């Protein structure tokens, strides 16, 4: 053989040995198909929570916010119903029907009828515990009952009544207040700007001199307590206020232990003591000599 060919053959083998090779698998094993574009997009999407529709949300029994939302809607409906003059009690089914809440869960319904409505201060329960009505602040139904309430507060010195409490308790409140405007005094409280109702006692009306009104308004005692007022009046020589107001309790003195009384002999006839003893002796002697 030609030596040049032998050299080329040896060089070829060296190059072949230096080059890495990959073995092919058998033709019977199928290679997995390349990932499609849709599969890659599915893997990239984050997992999403299941959608909640309105019916699914209303049946969630663990949501306390939802429960109290249902309760607040019921209380508001019962208040409006009472203000319109409807005060007959309703069952839980009738209340839910009127408030369009019949699709609530059974657990929420049991909570309303067994606990929430019974413990609510704005709801009154019938003796059998099956029906409910609104519980106002004052039990007044018309103008006469309102005036009786205001008179009682005036006689007992309880002050006025909040307008918002009257509006909540009295059906058709605006109409009644309009008809009784001459018998009621409206005062705005400066702290919170709320209106207070007082009974207008016409027997206490009297005219006050303008000069006295000016003097009264010029005297400011807001920053003074009773002790300072008494001190000022005493300096001015005014003692008419000393018997008014709260009296301070006077401590009681302890009584001394009762001792046996010792009767003392009279001291006026001490100079006749000897004469009296002689007289007594003679008297006894005579009685013994002349027995009866």
Q: What percent of the chain has pLDDT over 70?
A: 67
Has residue 182 been placed in a domain? yes
Q: How many residues does the chain have?
A: 292
CA separation for the pair 46, 284 (Å, rounded)? 137
- Tens of pLDDT, residues 171-187: 999 999 999 888 898 99
**Residue 159, in any domain of the structure:** yes
Predicted confidence band of residue 11 (pLDDT cuts 50, 70, 90):
confident
Render pLDDT for 55-83 as a digit per residue (tens, 0 to 9): 444 444 447 888 899 999 999 999 999 98
What's the number of domains the chain is made of?
2
Residue with tokens 């606990």: 115
Tell me whether residue 18 is in a domain. no
- How far apart, in whole angstroms, are the C-alpha atoms of residue 161 and residue 149? 9
Contacts of 175 by beta carbon, 8 Å cutoff, 6+ apart = none
Average pLDDT, the chain: 77
Q: Residue 26: inside a domain, yes or no?
A: no
- The pLDDT confidence band at residue 248, using thresholds 50, 70 and 90, is low
pLDDT for res 30? 54
Tell me if 254 is assigned to some domain.
Answer: no
DSSP lists the bridge partners of residue 188 as 195
Pick the last residue of a domain from 218, 239, 268: 218
d(CA 256, CA 83): 69
Asked, for residue 39, whether it belongs to a domain, the answer is: no
Statement to judge: residues 92 and 144 lie in one domain:
no
- Each residue's pLDDT tens digit, 258-277: 656 665 555 555 555 565 55
CATH, residue 119: 1.10.10.10
- What's the token pair of residue 23? 């073995």
126 and 77 share one domain: yes
Helices (H) and strands (E) in the chain, counts: 13, 6
Residue 146 falls inside a structural domain: yes
Domain boundary pick from 189, 218, 247: 218
Who wins on pLDDT, 154 or 19? 154
pLDDT of residue 262: 61
Asked if residues 141 and 170 have their Cβ atoms less than 8 Å apart, the reply is yes
Last residue of a domain, one of 134, 153, 168: 134
**Rounded mean pLDDT of 245-256?**
62
> 142 and 206: one domain?
yes
What average pLDDT does the segment 187-202 reach?
Answer: 89
Domain-located, residue 148:
yes
Q: Is 200 a residue whose pLDDT tops 50?
A: yes
Looking at the predicted structure, is the pLDDT value of residue 32 above 70? no
130 and 160 part of one domain = no
The answer on 118 and 168 residing in a single domain is no
- For 89-137, the pLDDT digits (tens) are 999 999 999 999 888 888 898 998 888 899 999 999 999 988 999 999 9
Same domain for 114 and 157: no
197 and 129 part of one domain: no
- Judge if 87 and 104 occupy the same domain: yes
Residue 166 structural domain: 137-218
174 with 123, same domain: the answer is no
């Amino acid at each position: 053989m030609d030596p040049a060919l032998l050299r080329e053959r040896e060089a070829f083998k060296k190059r072949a040995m230096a080059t890495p090779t990959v073995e092919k698998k058998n033709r019977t094993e199928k290679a997995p198909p390349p990932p499609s574009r849709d599969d890659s997009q599915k893997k990239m999407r984050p997992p999403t929570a299941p959608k909640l529709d309105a019916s699914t949300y209303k049946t969630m029994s663990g949501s306390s916010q939802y429960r109290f939302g249902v309760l607040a809607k019921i209380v508001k409906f019962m208040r409006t119903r009472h203000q319109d003059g409807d005060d007959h009690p309703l069952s839980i089914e009738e209340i839910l029907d009127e408030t369009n809440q019949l699709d609530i869960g059974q657990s929420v319904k049991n909570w309303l009828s067994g606990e929430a409505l019974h413990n609510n201060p704005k709801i009154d329960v019938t003796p059998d515990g099956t029906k409910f009505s609104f519980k106002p602040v004052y039990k007044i139904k018309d103008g006469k009952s309102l005036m009786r309430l205001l008179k009682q507060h005036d006689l007992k010195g309880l002050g006025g009544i909040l307008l918002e409490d009257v509006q909540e308790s009295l059906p058709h409140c605006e109409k009644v207040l309009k008809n009784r405007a001459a018998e009621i005094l409206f005062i705005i409280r400066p702290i919170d700007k709320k209106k207070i109702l007082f009974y207008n006692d016409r027997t206490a009306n009297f005219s006050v001199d303008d000069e006295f009104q000016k003097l009264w308004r010029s005297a400011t005692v807001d920053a003074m307590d009773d002790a300072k007022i008494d001190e000022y009046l005493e300096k001015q020589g005014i003692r008419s206020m000393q018997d008014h107001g709260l009296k301070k309790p006077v401590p009681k003195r302890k009584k001394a232990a009762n001792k046996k009384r010792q009767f003392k002999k009279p001291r006026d006839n001490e100079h006749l003591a000897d004469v009296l003893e002689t007289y007594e002796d003679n008297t006894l002697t005579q009685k013994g000599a002349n027995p009866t």
